[in-house]
Amino acid sequence: MYDLVALGEVLIDFTYCGQSEHDNALFEQNPGGAPANVVAMAAGLGLNTAFIGKVGADMHGDFLRQTLQARGVDVKGLVSATNAFTTMAFVKLEGAERHFSFARKPGADMTLSEAEIDFDIIRAAKIFHFGSLSLTDEPSRSSTIKAVKAAKGEGAVISYDPNYRPGLWKSAAEAKLRMRDAAQFADIIKISEEEAELLTDKRDPKAATQALLEKGATCVIATLGADGALAATKEGSVKKTPPNCVPVDTTGAGDVFLGSFLYRLSKSGKSLDKHSLQEIEDYVAFANAAASLCVEKRGAMPSMPDISAIYERLGG
């Protein structure tokens, strides 16, 4: 059995890192992709994990495969495309905030077909995680939904991150439709403040989490940047502020948060619906600490903290 299986995009984040001697922008090759970041973080903390996705048969795809393996992620479900290049995202930083420009027309991750998915891996998942970027285009859209349904049918906890990137959708209306449709399968949903409105038409994070609970989710978490996170269950909601930090790059912070949260959930050995709000609050505090460490360095996977650093940041 796998503690956690994630499906979706793994890509290259070319992150701005200064100017050359000729005053040209320099970009650093960093591994990224939200579902891959989540599973890599959880693997680094000790979970038995696997990743399902598609990269190009190119130097970047090889780099990503090796990086996930080095983090301890099983990559036998990661296939290679001969007709599409590994997806790339160029990340410009303004302060610690990010602006993305994608090279994905198409990217290998968009071409993942149902026939290329190893459903034995999915059937062995205790927690199955997916995002929304694999829903932007076919065939990856239908393949993702098939995989989610298969995991749910086997009794896995379904984790969903509607990670909105406007430039990758044909329109905001289509993004809203597809992202909302996928939410119906989820037990755990992590949303940002922007995604709260997309999924629920409510700008207030507390109102948005409540709306998603009413639609069937068991636990909804709204990440609030420097203000931490708001978690909601049927018992109520709780907001946790993060430890103090000095942000350098927020890339991957939400993924590190979610990977850490899923780690604590998995290690508890309890089903999601048996958790008290106080236990969820404890997991959120742990995840906040992990994310606060991540943002102090550049890149997502290179900045992922180990468990000792997280507990040190928590003060114990």
Give 235-282 pLDDT, tens digit per residue.
Answer: 999 999 999 999 988 889 999 999 999 999 999 999 999 999 999 999
Contact 198, 186 (CB under 8 A): no
Residue 214, burial from CB neighbour count under 10 angstroms (0-12, 13-18, 19+): exposed
Selection from 126, 130, 127, 164 nearest residue 147 by Cα: 130
Instruction: Please pick, among 255, 259, 290, 300, the residue that the annotation labels catalytic.
Output: 255
Q: Find the mean pLDDT for residues 308-312.
A: 97
Instruction: Please pick, among 253, 290, 291, 300, the residue that the annotation labels catalytic.
Output: 253
Res. 7 pLDDT band, cuts 50 70 90: very high
Instruction: Please pick, among 131, 254, 259, 299, the residue that the annotation labels catalytic.
Output: 254
75-131 pLDDT, tens digit per residue, is 999 999 999 999 999 987 776 566 789 999 999 999 999 999 999 999 999 999 999
Whether 201 is catalytic: no
Res. 230 pLDDT band, cuts 50 70 90: very high
Q: Please give the CATH architecture assigned to the domain spanning 2-9+33-83+111-314.
A: 3-Layer(aba) Sandwich (3.40)
Contacts of 102 (CB under 8 A, 6+ apart): 87, 88, 89, 90, 165, 167, 168
Instruction: Please pick, among 8, 56, 77, 252, the residue that the annotation labels catalytic.
Output: 252
Whether 253 is catalytic: yes
Give me the DSSP letters along 69-105.
HHHTEEEEEEEEESSSBPPEEEEEEETTEEEEEEE-T
Res. 219 pLDDT band, cuts 50 70 90: very high
Selection from 173, 205, 175, 176 nearest residue 191 by Cα: 205
Whether 252 is catalytic: yes
Q: Find the mean pLDDT for residues 137-159.
A: 98
169-191 pLDDT, tens digit per residue, is 999 999 999 999 999 999 999 99
Whether 77 is catalytic: no
Query: So where are the chain's domains?
Result: 2-9+33-83+111-314
